[in-house]
Homo-oligomer: A and B are copies of this chain.
Amino acid sequence: MTTRTEAVKAYLLDLQDRICSALETFETDTRFIEDAWTRPAGGGGRTRVIENGSVIEKGGVNFSHVFGSGLPPSASAHRPELAGRGFEALGVSLVIHPHNPHVPTSHANVRFFIAEKEGEEPVWWFGGGFDLTPYYGNEEDCIHWHRVAEQACAPFGPDVYSRYKAWCDTYFHIKHRNEPRGIGGLFFDDLNEWDFDTCFAFIRAIGDAYIDAYLPIVQRRKAMAYTEQQRQFQEFRRGRYVEFNLVYDRGTLFGLQSGGRTESILMSLPPQVRWSYDWKAEVGSEEARLTDYFLQDRDWLGLTAPKAAV
């Protein structure tokens, strides 16, 4: 293992620890359980899962470090020519499904790849981001989430947030529904445009920012009362989450294609889900407002200058 890989690995393991500890502060008795696993084809991971907590219904915060001889095409967005190379991949990936429909689901991921080929320089890149999936939208939460994202990106360039925010909107799009999965955040891949140290610093900024972005939202919403009908709406919307993850998500497909540990990959799926034929929210309802207003690839921070009236 190179010094770079060691440094990334140490950061990721510490990030996993810090995120789990931070999330456990919401729970009285329930704790993450840990499964350490090894992968027959090379590498392994440290899966941490929490289930049936008072706030978190199901959540997974996974660290993995895998090696392989043939990089799957899903590993890189823009460089399919690297497919088939020997590779090493490290990452932390997490999904938190709270019980209360007023608390959004969150997802975050930071990952580091190295693709190697005999006689050539290794190619490395980072990827990651975080995104939020509310069931009952709150303007305040969306602005807070995006502001933390924007502040994490700011030291790395004035356009970093807006580029990765736009990429997030594009990536987390459920094509067959023509609907975004959530209210977005950041998504990036193939990141090696800066030197290694800068890229690594950026990844750390993103990983750390997730905690600042999500915890205040959970804190604000976790004690809100909800009805059985709101719970059913949450379960119905969770179906969209499943559709995205199983049909489109490259991380999920990469994991399944590369012989990853299925239970660690699919910990992202929600605990209870409903599908109802052609269900539609009542016009003007809070449920309709989710798709009509919140799930619309909005410019939450108002960064795009409004067009001057002519």
Contact = CB atoms under 8 A, between A and B. Distances in A.
Interface of A: 35, 49, 51, 58, 60, 175-177, 235, 239, 242-243, 246-247, 256, 262-263, 265-267, 269-278
Contact of A273 (B60, B266, B274, B278): B274
Given A270-B275, A271-B276, 17 more contacts: A51-B277, A58-B275, A58-B277, A60-B277, A176-B265, A235-B272, A242-B242, A242-B246, A246-B246, A247-B247, A263-B278, A266-B275, A267-B277, A271-B274, A271-B275, A272-B272, A273-B274
A158 B269 CA distance: 44
A41 to B, nearest CB: 14
A277 B51 CA distance: 8
A49 B277 contact: yes
Nearest to A270: B275
B177 A262 contact: yes
Contact of A247 (B49, B177, B246, B275): B246
- Copies of this chain held together in the complex: 2
A256 B175 CA distance: 9
Contacts of A269: 239, 275
Nearest to A52: B276
A183 to B, nearest CB: 22
Nearest to A174: B262
A276 B51 contact: yes
A53 to B, nearest CB: 13
A240 to B, nearest CB: 10
A247 B244 CA distance: 11
A273 B60 CA distance: 19
A60 B273 CA distance: 19
A176 B259 CA distance: 7
